[in-house]
Structure 1
Amino acid sequence: MTDRLTIRRPDDWHLHLRDGEMLKAVLPETTRHFARAIIMPNLVPPVVTAADAADYRDRIMWAKPKNSDFKPLMTLYLTEDTEVRDVRAAAEIGLIHALKLYPAGATTNSQSGVRDFKKVTRVLETMAQIGLPLCVHGEVTNPEVDIFDREAAFIERVLDPIRREIPELRVVMEHITTKDGVDYVAGGGDTIAGTITVHHLVINRNHILAGGIRPHYYCLPVAKREEHRIALRAAATSGDPTFFLGTDSAPHTDAAKLQPCGCAGCFTAPNGLSILAQVFEEDGALDRLEGFVSEYGPRFYRLPLNDGTVTLEKGPPVEYPAQIETGDGPVTVFDPGMPLYWRVVD
């Protein structure tokens, strides 16, 4: 039985770091294990220009632990006012690695997102020309669409029409949560990939609602039925390079989560690798963990693989802190609801 596993150092292809005091507190939880991360731009105000991205990158570099070689991979928040020349210039100098599409109102700080997709066609065409990926939050925001159906509706109404109109556009469908998403990405050819979070591999909607509301399991896209969780696990552990890790680790203070209208997000940066090792072992796929966390993402983004390694060991249950303290208040660490036997030791 395997009780020690060394893999290439992983990357996180979907990460929220916030800003200010929160950034300083949560960043070390990522840099401890990950070499790079795609950084989400939904700050207040959002990161919409190359100058914004450069400033935010500098704040991240200032906040990271000393002697850390962590590299933030910056993105721009796509709006109806995004300028083609700004995108092209930022991509040419390697400042940005993707643009992020939020349908307006889809999730935290997405009010500046796109409402009329015709207004971003020129930007998307330019991205296709230069090979810059579009990361999408794959949900419609129409109030008449049930929240559990919004991913499937997004594929049909938004994503597939965009890809048919601009077939060369490279797309990452982030944090897929349904069998519909899995099937669409798997059958979409080499211009589309899908990221899968840690928490969607272990929770379904019962964890949020059954026996009382549990706000620390509330995220967007919301966790779905068990059949969809099973489909996500099958995709993640399959060895299919179309799917790779994007944790969507999204810290909020407890004061913001525990509200009549609480914030969406699960904070998985501290224990994410332990959870993933547990999941892959349970599914008989430990030999495929390295591909999912360390190889498939950089290949899609056309970046080199990391040189370093991390080592995990299996032993007695690992104890993670229930919360981390930040200058803004405590942030609860995601509880997978099961013992974790794998820990990062090196």
Structure 2
Amino acid sequence: MQSPINTLTITRPDDWHLHLRDGAVLDSVVADSARQFARAIIMPNLRPPVTTTELALAYRDRIFSALDQAGIPAVSFTPLMTLYLTDNTSADQVVRASESGFVHGIKLYPAGATTNSDAGVTNLLGKCVAALEAMQAVGMPLLVHGEVTDPDVDLFDREAVFIDRIMIPLRRAFPALKVVFEHLTTCDGVDYVRDADGPVAATITAHHLLYNRNALFQGGVRPHWYCLPVLKRERHRQALLTAATSGMGRFFLGTDSAPHPKGLKENACGCAGCYTALHAMELYATAFDSVGSLDKLEAFASLNGPAFYGLPVNQGTLTLNREAYRIPTELPMAESTVVPLAGGESLAWKVAQ
């Protein structure tokens, strides 16, 4: 029998889907990501949303200020900025974003799909054609929240319906457009991304690799496991785990870590989002270890994303040790606290300091 791996050193990873928020919340959470990741794709769904290159630059400066306040050198963590696609995003704005050198994607939120998505797109192929043409021409990736918002569609079917209604027509109209299917959650999504023609990839979260929808209801409603897209059936979790550990370059790490104050999660109308930035790599190591695929973690976390985005692989390394790590029950955040996913529970992996 092969001896278990007790220490794993990989190329320093990147997070290709991260929510940092803004203001005091940003100041509170940015260090958790910078401790593990060299770069992160920063989501633009602030209030107001980051819709222009100028707003993205200002947000980037605030992130660097937060890093400085946390005592983290700016060279150790690079925020990769994105714009928020709207019905009114122009081709000129896409070109300016591409020429900036710091905007690396444009995010599609179907209107009403998730947190702060009210200004999202109402008709992608009806109102965004000029922007999509420009994105295809300059090689700017479209990052999609892959769910429809039609109230007649069952919550657990929204990703599969999105593929039929949006992704397939989109790829037919723009076959060379680079598309990242964010936070994939279903076997339907895995099959689509694996077999799609052209430049299509997907990010997968740690929580969708580790938990199925039963986790939402063990011992009562557990709001800190509530996210959008919502956790799915076990067969979908297994499909995601198979994809993530396959070594295929189309699948890579994106935490979708989303900080919300404890009081807004434990609420009559709780916010969607899991806070995983604190212990992201420990969670991913746990998932990969569960199927004996730790040797595939480096490609998923450190190599596939840069290859798709056309960026160099990081130079540093990150080491994980097989040792008990108890997740804090909650953490200070701005004037409140945030509860990390699975707070109070223990993992068998810990990032070396």
- TM-score range with shorter-chain normalisation? over 0.9
* Corresponding position: 1:113 with 2:120: yes
| Alignment match of 2:65 (pick from 24, 39, 62) | 62
Aligned-residue CA RMSD (Å):
1.2
User: Partner residue of 1:156?
Assistant: 164
Question: Contact (CA 8 Å) 1:202, 1:336: kept in 2 or not?
Answer: no
* Counterpart-to-counterpart distance in 2, 1:213 and 1:66: 38
* Corresponding position: 1:82 with 2:85: no
* Counterpart-to-counterpart distance in 2, 1:171 and 1:344: 31
For residue 14 of structure 1, give the secondary structure of its aligned residue in structure 2.
Answer: strand
Question: Contact (CA 8 Å) 2:20, 2:26: kept in 1 or not?
Answer: yes
* Corresponding position: 1:326 with 2:329: no
* Corresponding position: 1:17 with 2:25: no
* Counterpart-to-counterpart distance in 1, 2:335 and 2:229: 25
Question: Contact (CA 8 Å) 1:298, 1:304: kept in 2 or not?
Answer: yes
TM-score by length of 2: 0.95
* Counterpart-to-counterpart distance in 1, 2:52 and 2:226: 31
* Corresponding position: 1:271 with 2:279: yes
Question: Contact (CA 8 Å) 1:203, 1:336: kept in 2 or not?
Answer: no
For residue 79 of structure 1, give the secondary structure of its aligned residue in structure 2.
Answer: coil
| Alignment match of 1:343 (pick from 329, 337, 350) | 350
* Corresponding position: 1:185 with 2:193: yes
Is there any run of 5+ residues in structure 1 with no aligned partner, and where? none
For residue 250 of structure 1, give the secondary structure of its aligned residue in structure 2.
Answer: coil
For residue 128 of structure 2, give the secondary structure of its aligned residue in structure 1.
Answer: helix
Q: In structure 2, what residue type is equivalent to 1:79? A: T
- Deviating runs (4+, > 6 A) in structure 1? none
Q: Cα offset for 1:93?
A: 2.3
Question: Contact (CA 8 Å) 1:199, 1:336: kept in 2 or not?
Answer: no
Give the aligned length.
Answer: 345
* Counterpart-to-counterpart distance in 1, 2:218 and 2:322: 32
User: Partner residue of 1:91?
Assistant: 98
Listed one character per residue, the Cα deviations across residues 123-163 of structure 1 (whole Å, up to 9, x for unaligned) are 01110111110000000000000000000000000111011
User: Partner residue of 1:102?
Assistant: 109
Listed one character per residue, the Cα deviations across residues 287-318 of structure 1 (whole Å, up to 9, x for unaligned) are 11000000000100000000000111112x11
Q: Cα offset for 1:66?
A: 2.6
Q: Cα offset for 1:209?
A: 2.7
* Counterpart-to-counterpart distance in 1, 2:146 and 2:288: 25
| Alignment match of 1:38 (pick from 29, 38, 41) | 41
Is there any run of 5+ residues in structure 2 with no aligned partner, and where? none
TM-score by length of 1: 0.97
Q: Cα offset for 1:326?
A: 1.4
Listed one character per residue, the Cα deviations across residues 219-248 of structure 1 (whole Å, up to 9, x for unaligned) are 000001111011111111111111000000
